Structure 1
Amino acid sequence: MTEHAALIDGDPIPTERVNSFLGAPHRGAGNGATGHDRPAPARRQTEPPSVARQRRRWATQVIVTDELARRACADRGLRVPEEVSPASALAVTETDVADLGSIVAAALAHSPATRTLLAALEAEQTVPETAVRDYYDRNQDRFLTPEALRRGVTPFDGAAPADLLPYDEVREGIARELRTAAGRQAFFGWLDQARSAVVYSHGHEHPGDPSHPDHEHRH
């Protein structure tokens, strides 16, 4: 096995970083690499070789994302909190996996640098007032009052203004939600571009890379 899992701008990412991640306990949902709460080897002695290969490729993506985020934070002058120990790593939730994909969800749980960068990108987003108001007007089913819900009112039945939570009460929450979505979009754009500088060693390619026989298109 090669000593490095990948090269970023010619700098090696040691295979040991991938091995450490695979061997550490993780908590939460996701694909098999995130859905356990004790060291991986104890759980996976009998897993098929193809699954083990894909797990390693998946873990490499998590470590590469962490390293790319570290570099981006350094370039931006962002202070990254000290890393948590594997035993206290954040859980990966089903919702995060559904919204972000298991690689990014696990990277956010594993990597303080990834969380720091995402938070910075979210803070940079500006949500126009017109976008907030438009969201409120187009998604009235989300803003029915408890009384209207008890009566079975739906926006499709012609909800009255009194059946809706006032715009001023929900405006900040909508803006925050839209800012989060815009920040995530900016993060994925950054990650796609940053990955272009990565060269993977054999056995550490992206899990969805069609050039190897075990590839999968799901993350």
Structure 2
Amino acid sequence: MSDRGHAARTHPPEGAAALVQGDALDAARVEALLDLVPPRDRETRPASLARAERQRRRWATQVVVADELARRACAERGLKPPEAVGPPRLLAVAEEDVAGLGSIVAAVLAHSPAARTLLSALEDGQDVPASAMRDYYDRNRDRFLTREALRRGVDPFGDAAPTDFLPYPYVREGIGHELRLAAGRRAFFAWLDGARAGVVYAVGHEHPGDPAHPDHEHRH
């Protein structure tokens, strides 16, 4: 293949935000998401405002790229995400989700039905051994105190009696559910890291934390 053809395959064309698995991702999808996201920073100085907007576009590009990758992963796995209902709405992401997932992944899951569908499938596919559930119960005794023990201020790692704890059979199902969710999230993070490793970004759409551009910041 000629150098010209090779360049066409490895650099996003004009009007594209990135190449995803060799296909151009329309920059208009990034702009459409930005219309749904309020500015993150309340800067007033022109230089600071311009920098904040550049980073906001890079952040939005990551969300749109992840949505595209999730759509493709769902198609490959025979998963059918739900259709969007109604016009696009302002994208709102809960602060606790940002704290637990990072702003990019939290926004991906809020924005992308395909990402939510894929995450749900990954959660459902986790096999949590009975030994792991029992070990979680034994290591996190403070989470399983009875209401009466909590009212009395019982030290779960001190002088607590067996009757101060909810019985293991009573909480086993909930523990299994929680561990499956956690394992599913780890699988989703691993999938996303691997899937976007080969994405090629256009100038101005790089990852916000990419040290190759002068405005980089490591803030997820």
Under a length normalisation based on structure 1, what TM-score does the superposition of the two structures give? 0.88
Q: Letter of the 1:5 partner, please give it.
A: A
Write out aligned runs for 1:26-45 (5 A).
32=40
User: Structure 1 211/88 Cα, relative in aligned 2: closer, same or farther at 3 Å?
Assistant: closer
Larger Rg: 2
For the aligned residues, what is the CA RMSD?
2.2
User: Structure 1 48/66 Cα, relative in aligned 2: closer, same or farther at 3 Å?
Assistant: same
Q: Give the counterpart of 1:86 among 81, 85, 88.
A: 88
Mapped pair 1:105 → 2:113: no
Mapped pair 1:142 → 2:143: yes
Under a length normalisation based on structure 2, what TM-score does the superposition of the two structures give? 0.88
Q: How many residues are matched?
A: 206
Indicate the SS of the match to 1:156: coil
Q: Partners in 1 of 2:61 and 2:148 — Cα distance?
A: 50
Q: Partners in 2 of 1:45 and 1:62 — Cα distance?
A: 27
Q: Partners in 2 of 1:88 and 1:126 — Cα distance?
A: 36
Identify the residue that residue 58 of structure 1 maps to in structure 2: 59
Gaps of 5+ in 1: 36-42
Answer yes or no: is the 8 Å Cα contact 1:62–1:103 preserved in 2: yes
Identify the residue that residue 128 of structure 1 maps to in structure 2: 129
Identity over aligned pairs, percent? 64
* Deviation, structure 1 residue 83: 2.1
* Deviation, structure 1 residue 156: 2.4
Mapped pair 1:22 → 2:26: no
Q: Partners in 2 of 1:107 and 1:83 — Cα distance?
A: 15
Answer yes or no: is the 8 Å Cα contact 2:36–2:90 preserved in 1: no
Answer yes or no: is the 8 Å Cα contact 1:4–1:12 preserved in 2: yes
Indicate the SS of the match to 2:89: helix
Identify the residue that residue 39 of structure 1 maps to in structure 2: none
